[in-house]
């Protein structure tokens, strides 16, 4: 006869079920849950590329180890002391949107790696993408992009205040 009561000598399943539920909830949190900056290169942000160079040189340029800055638990590399100083003075201006994760992927709640050569600047914001076809498919006028950008800015402001 089954009375659906737990066996008196066996622990209740409630803690195990609660733990499973928490794992599911935590894994469904916003895209920045795994870390706000893409440091897939051993703690180095955006693969060591200089975020300021996208704005000043209009191309992806690998930074140098002698010009670095620590920001949001990531090491950022720059091509010059001038670029490092520009970033240090206003990191929110130069840091890529969505922490350097693929700007299409974050719309789906994911944190995907990027190709630093697949990028766009729109409204003075740097966006990085998984690859060039992904970049081509991205529509900056899509409402979800504005929402993701607002979430990113809120995350940054929460972390930098």
Locate the domains of the chain by residue range. Answer: 34-160
Q: What's the pTM value of the predicted model, to 2 decimals?
A: 0.78
pLDDT value, residue 142? 93
Pairing mode, strands 74-78 and 115-122:
unpaired
- Give all strands (DSSP E) within the chain, no chain letters: 64-71, 74-78, 115-122, 125-129
So what's the pLDDT on residue 45?
97
* pLDDT means over runs of 10, the chain (161 residues): 39 41 32 72 93 98 98 97 98 96 93 96 97 96 94 90 79
Q: Specify the pLDDT at position 161.
A: 79
Residue-level pLDDT at 34: 53
């Amino acid at each position: 006869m089954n009375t659906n009561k737990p066996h008196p000598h066996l622990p209740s399943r409630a803690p195990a079920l609660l733990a499973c539920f928490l794992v599911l909830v935590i894994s469904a949190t916003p895209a920045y849950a795994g870390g706000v900056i893409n440091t897939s290169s051993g703690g180095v942000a955006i693969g060591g590329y200089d975020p300021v160079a996208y704005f000043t040189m209009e191309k992806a340029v690998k930074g140098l180890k002698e010009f670095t800055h620590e920001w949001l638990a990531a090491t950022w590399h720059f091509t010059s002391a001038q670029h490092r100083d520009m970033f240090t003075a206003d990191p929110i201006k130069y840091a890529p949107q969505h922490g350097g994760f693929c700007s299409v992927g974050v719309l789906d709640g994911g944190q995907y790696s990027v190709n630093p050569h697949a990028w766009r600047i729109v409204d003075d914001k740097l966006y990085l993408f998984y690859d060039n076809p992904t970049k081509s498919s991205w529509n900056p006028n899509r409402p979800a992009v504005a929402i993701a950008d607002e979430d990113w800015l809120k995350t940054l402001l929460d972390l930098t205040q």
